[in-house]
Structures are given as C-alpha cells and as structure tokens.
Amino acid sequence: MNILINPFQTKYNTAPFSKIENQYFLEAFKELITNTKAEIDTIINNPEEPNYSNTIEALEYSGKQLDRVSSIFFNLNSAETSEEIQKIAQEISPLLSEFSNDITLNEDLFKRVKTVYNKKSTLKLNTEQETLLNKKYKGFSRNGANLPEDKKQRLREIDKNLAQLKLKFGENVLAETNSYEMHLTNESDVNGLPEGTKEAAKQLAQSKDKKGYIFTLDYPSYIPFMKYATNRELRKKLSLAFASKGFQNNDFNNQSNILQITNLRHERANLLGYKTHSHFVLEERMAETPENVISFLNELLDKAKPAAQSEFKNLQEFAKELDGIDGLEKWDSAYYSEKLKQKLYSLDDEKLKPYFKLEYVIDGAFTVAKKLFGLDFKEINTIDKYHEDVLTYEVTDSEGELVSIFYADFFPRAGKRGGAWMTSYKSQSIENNTNERPHVSIVCNFTKPTKSKPSLLTFNEVTTLFHEFGHALHGMLANTTYPSLSGTSVYWDFVELPSQILENWCYEKETLELFAKHYETGETIPMDLVSKIKESATFHEGMQTLRQISLGLLDMSWHGQDPTAIKSVKEQELKAFEKTSLYPDVSTNCMSTSFSHIFQGGYSSGYYSYKWAEVLDADAFAYFKEHGIFNKKIANKFKDFILSQGGTENPMTLYKRFRGQEPKPEALLKRAGLIK
C-alpha cells in the first residue's frame, strides 16, 4: 500500500521518510490529484447557493494530502536529490502545473467564487476571512479565469513549459557544482589556508582514494579558499569555475533556459493583461510597481556608490602596497578584503571560529527564542529523518504545549543544492477547532566536523544560521485559521523581515555571551573581540550594498521589460551591471546562468526585497534597542503583530501595529554607516 496517499499515522503526523520509496511518488501524485479533483467537483456540484463556507473555505481546505506530499517531494529534491528523484520531478511538475490550471481555469468553480466575492460587503467577514476571499478571487482572476478558451490553452502550455525549465535550470547548477573539483598535491598550493579547511580538503581527497587536497564549489570549501589561499593563480582558477556555472559549452548550459523562461514569463504576463512579468508579480507586493522598485534601488545606489567606490579604491591601494598588485580582479576581492579587515580591526575569522562551535550556536539561537518568545527546544529521535545528518526537535511553549516540529540540516552533500533556506513540511492551520501545528525545517551548508575538530562556523555563517532560524520562527509561531495565509505565506518583500531582524542579535554583547564559548577551553568570547565584531559590522558595507543592488537590478532587467529582443545573456547582464560594477568583467563568467533565486526559486522580480526588508529590520531592531534587546513587551508585540499573523493583513498595517509608525530608511543607512 502506498503510504503517501492517506494522512500519516505517525507521531505528530510527521513525514514517514524511512518508509517512503521513490517509486511511491508518481503513483501518489496521480491518485491525490484525482482525489483533489473529486473534492473540487463536490464544491462545484453543491446544490446550495455559493457561500463563504461551502465555497471559499471548502476550496482552502481541499487537497491537504496533495500539498503535504508536494512539500515532502520538492524539499527532498532540494536537500537530498538523486537522478531518480530528478527524473520523477520532470514527470510530476507538468502534472501539477496542469492540475493547478485545471482549478484556476475552471469556469464553474470561478463562478461560485465570484458569486461570493460580489456579495462580500454583506457577509460580515473578519479581517482574515476577507483576506482569504480576496486572495482566492485574485488567484483566479490573476491566473487566467477571465480569458477566452484559446488563451487559457496557451496559458496551460506556458505553465507546463515553465515548470520543466525551472527544474532543468536548478539541475544544471547542481550538476556543475558537483562535477568540479580542484585536486592539489603540493603543500605550497594550500599556503595561507586555515588548518580546518586543509583538513576537510584532505579528508575529501582520502574519501576519493587520492593524495593531497580536493577543493570544490560548495561554499564551505570555496569561500575559505578565496579568502585565505595565497596562490593567486589557484584563486583565479577556482573563481573562474565558480562563476562559469551554467555558462560553459556543455550539457549544463543554462543560457537557452534563461531566454525561454524570461520570454515565457513575459508572454504569460501579457496574456493576463500585464505589461511585464514584474508588473504581474509586484501587484501583490509592498513595492507595488517596477517603477517603485527601480526608484528604491536607485535611491540606495546614490547613497552606496560613493562609499563603495571609496572602499574599492582603498582596497586597490592596499593590495598594491602589500603585494604589488596593479589591477584588482574578482578573485582578489575576498582575499584582500580579509587581509585589510585583519589590519584595520585585528579581526580574523579564523580567530573567531573556535568560539562558534555549531552546537553552541544552535543553542544560542534557541536561547534567544526562549528569552524573546518563551520557546523550548528539545532534541528528539522518535521521528523519521530523510538523512542521518538531520537534527529533529520538539518545540513547546511555556505551558509545555506543542508549538512546532523543527528539522535542521546543516552540512553539504552531493544531493543537496548550495546556499541556505527555510522550508515547511506541514503548514499551521485551524480546522474543526483543532490548531494543527507546523513542521518547519532549515537547511544550510556549513563545514562538516573533521577527525580533529567539530564544525566551527565563521561569523558570517553564524548570521546565516540566525537568518534562517528567523524564517523558521515565522513558520513556528504562526497562529492563523487558514493554511494559505499562515507563517511565511506573506508578501515576498515582507518575508525577509523576521529573518533579517534576527541577525541583529548576533552583534550584541548580551547575545554573544550566551553562546560564543571556546570549543576547547569553554572561555566566553573576549569582549575586545565582541567590540571588533561590532566595529567591523560596517566594513565594506558600501561594496556589499552595491552588490545586492546590482543583483536586484539584474533581476529587474530580466523581468521588468520586454525580453523578446534579448539574444545574448552575457550582454544583457553587462548592461544591467553598468552602474554597479567595480571589478573588470571576465568574459567566461556569467551570474545569471546560476542565479537560482530568480530562475528556479520564487524571487523573480523580488530580489530587491532583501534590501527592502533591511529597511524594515533596521527600523524594527532600533525599536528593540531603545527598550532592551530582550524586552518582553516589544518581543510580544513582534510575535503578536508580525510572526503569528502570517499574511492575514496588509504587511504595512501589521508593521505599523507593531512599531506605531511606518519604517524610516534612515535606520538602515545609519546602521550601514552610509549616513551619520
């Protein structure tokens, strides 16, 4: 019997990973799509007059098991994939796309939704109910329900193609990452590298029956090499490999995929009556229009560019003075930045790492969540995992009631894509007076423990863990009625507020004293190092801001205009980077071909949201700072008005309820050291 087809008979209703065989997925998807269609038919054929309960709520709660199996499958495809899973994904994605269209293009269903929508002023709905009604109606109208039949057919074709192209894009990036290794046998080649990095590279070589060291394009291998390796030629070699993912003359080239994806997205937007894909997307964002996004990014650019140019000039002078380097290249950036940072602040990431043992940092994040929101995390081994590296926790509140199940997956492996993200295996919702608690997961790629050392994080990795944990808290503390409005189901330019605000705690003495302890001696991090972390927080902030702006502008250049005339991915990218580039271009490099956020993930026309949310998080954290970073009253307001509310109301309404005012950009510019 296929265990995926019915609700899981497990403790907490968790995913039964150990009992799931890959071949179950295709059969389960087909059967669950059929079952959900039957649920939809029941709604359509209901002889009663359409009302909120028998149409809107019935639609919201339909397909629950299909949603769960989808979340399990696509999360595995990101965190523990294989050729077999990728093959199944290529079969399943068009089926799901077709099914989604079967719903949004179903005239009889839309008629019932429209009937309820048209009488909403008489329905006495609460705020969340009204939001759901609007969302359901727009879900149809924004996805083709009002189109004539021939255009509906074309929309189906586009969505089917897009589903497959996005998957292919991600598979190509993963294949390029996995297929590259730099094998070094001379000791002098690893000069400058920290002992832990060398040990990990040596262990990797041994696991492949090779002598010496192997470096890969996985972040824990790539970043330390770029930051510390004294051999400039080898840094260049690794940098060129990293930056040419999806841009080489092989089976994994993503240029054609990009042109097809952007053209199909544009055609889809036009079909639906929008000028561009960005106009379609941004209608449902705080920013509202492409013009507002471009204006926001350009305003930041005006403030950041002079600072970035000045920082770059200083870096050039420093590299020339230190090593006689005449022209800085991209593969020099991390290396000389690190050297300059050490000189200016006597702060070396390698000196900090012993204080950031992964287990201590996890405990630190849990302690912050306890102090702010009264949460307790208890590691449990009574639920299934999809890989032995995954840690599982039971999260409870101060009354001992279950808040969430939490999964954490921290180390790179072949079946896992790069980067870090938060995801969900089960949404929170309230149905039949039962508050279904969520199952939330964070996935990162940190350095694995070696024979002689535990997993020690760089400070940047510490903030990454807190960032993803902030997203997780948004999911865990959700307390809404409807699953589609729960947790992180919010406007995309609002979703980064809970994650980015939590990073702020990493820079505070009060927080660091909780968990930053030397893994060998147990000594708490010295206060002079804490001061240096604070001082260096704005180091090269101009250049970092410029990079984020450049990626936001690149995204908008692909999606905020008609892409049909674009023939060269590289030329388009150079045009987008005109105002923001500092380093000389490298002809064999291309950012777009591995820019998974916008071509595989959900960030198309949304990459600006990282900077947008920074304005919110700087302003919100300034509020905490005024009253104390562990102030219970402010923390409760943040939980009650932001974290628990999900997408039940307009984000600005929620933000003002928490803060008492709209966010001020000055808080961000001040924190970044871009204004006094």
| Predicted confidence (pLDDT) per residue in 321-351, tens digit | 999 999 999 999 999 999 999 999 998 888 8
pLDDT digits (tens, 9 = 90+) for 93-126: 999 999 999 999 999 999 999 999 999 999 999 9
DSSP one-letter code for 106: -
Mean pLDDT of 7-13: 93
Specify the range with the lowest mean pLDDT, choosing from 95-99, 181-185, 534-538.
Answer: 534-538
Q: How confident is the model at residue 8 (pLDDT cuts 50, 70, 90)?
A: very high
Nearest Cα neighbor of 557 from 542, 540, 541, 579 is 579
Say if residue 387's pLDDT is above 90: yes
Give the CA distances from residue 575 to residues 302, 322, 554, 580, in Å, rounded to whole numbers and listed in that order. Answer: 18, 33, 9, 10
- The residue-averaged pLDDT of 428-439 equals 96
**Could you give the percent of the chain with pLDDT greater than 70?**
100
In this prediction, residue 548 carries a pLDDT of 96
Predicted pLDDT of residue 429: 97
DSSP lists the bridge partners of residue 357 as 456
Predicted TM-score of the model (pTM): 0.91
pLDDT of residue 288: 95
The CA distance from 566 to 570, in Å, is: 10
Listed residue (214, 97, 167) closest to 417, CA to CA: 167
Helix, strand, coil distribution of the chain in percent, nearest 5: 60, 5, 35
Question: Which sequence spans correspond to the domains of the chain?
Answer: 11-146, 180-242, 354-524
Q: Provide mean pLDDT across the span 397-416.
A: 96
Task: Report, as an integer, the average pLDDT of 428-455.
Answer: 95
Cβ(548)–Cβ(580) under 8 Å? no
pLDDT reading at 667 higher than 90: no
Q: Is 90 exceeded by the pLDDT of residue 601?
A: no
- Which candidate, 510, 490, 464, places its Cα nearest to that of 371? 510
Phi/psi of residue 296, nearest 5 degrees: -60, -45
Answer yes or no: is pLDDT of 20 > 80. Answer: yes
Distance of CA 482 to the CA centre of its chain: 23
Confidence band for 668, pLDDT divided at 50, 70 and 90: confident
Q: What is the dihedral sign for C-alpha 644, 648, 649, 650? A: positive
**What is residue 438's DSSP assignment?**
P
Q: How far is Cα 497 from Cα 136, in angstroms, rounded to an integer?
A: 25
Decide the pairing of beta strands 402-409 and 391-396: antiparallel
Q: Where residue 1 falls among pLDDT bands split at 50, 70, 90? A: confident
- What is the per-residue pLDDT for 675? 79
DSSP structural state of residue 539 = T
Supply the mean pLDDT for the chain: 96
Residue 654's pLDDT band (boundaries 50, 70, 90)? very high
Residue 676 has pLDDT above 80, yes or no: no
Q: Give catalytic residue positions.
A: 468
The helix/strand/coil state of 590 is coil
| Tokens coding 586 | 């490298």
Is residue 672 predicted with pLDDT exceeding 90?
no
Q: Exposed, middle or buried: residue 120 (CB in 10 Å: 0-12, 13-18, 19+)? A: middle
- Both tokens of residue 194? 């920290």
CA gap 532, 527 in Å, rounded:
9
pLDDT for residue 479? 98
* 509 neighbors 503 (Cβ within 8 angstroms): no
Tens digit of pLDDT for each residue in 453-510? 999 999 999 999 999 999 999 999 999 999 999 999 999 889 999 999 999 999 999 9
Q: Per residue in 243-271, pLDDT tens?
A: 999 999 999 999 999 999 999 999 999 99
Beta bridge partners, 391, equal 408
pLDDT at 293: 96
DSSP state of 399: T
> What is the β-pairing status of strands 434-436 and 429-431?
antiparallel
* Average pLDDT score over residue span 302-320: 96
pLDDT at 664: 83
Name which of 287, 245, 275 is nearest 600 in CA terms.
245
Give the DSSP per-residue string, 654-672: HHHHHHSS---HHHHHHHT
Tell which CATH classification among 1.20.1050.40, 3.40.1080.10, 3.40.1360.10, 3.10.105.10 matches the domain 11-146. Answer: 1.20.1050.40
Q: What is the CATH T-level fold of the domain 354-524, as seen in this structure?
A: Neurolysin; domain 3 (1.10.1370)
Report which residue type is found at 298.
N
Q: How confident is the model at residue 666 (pLDDT cuts 50, 70, 90)?
A: confident
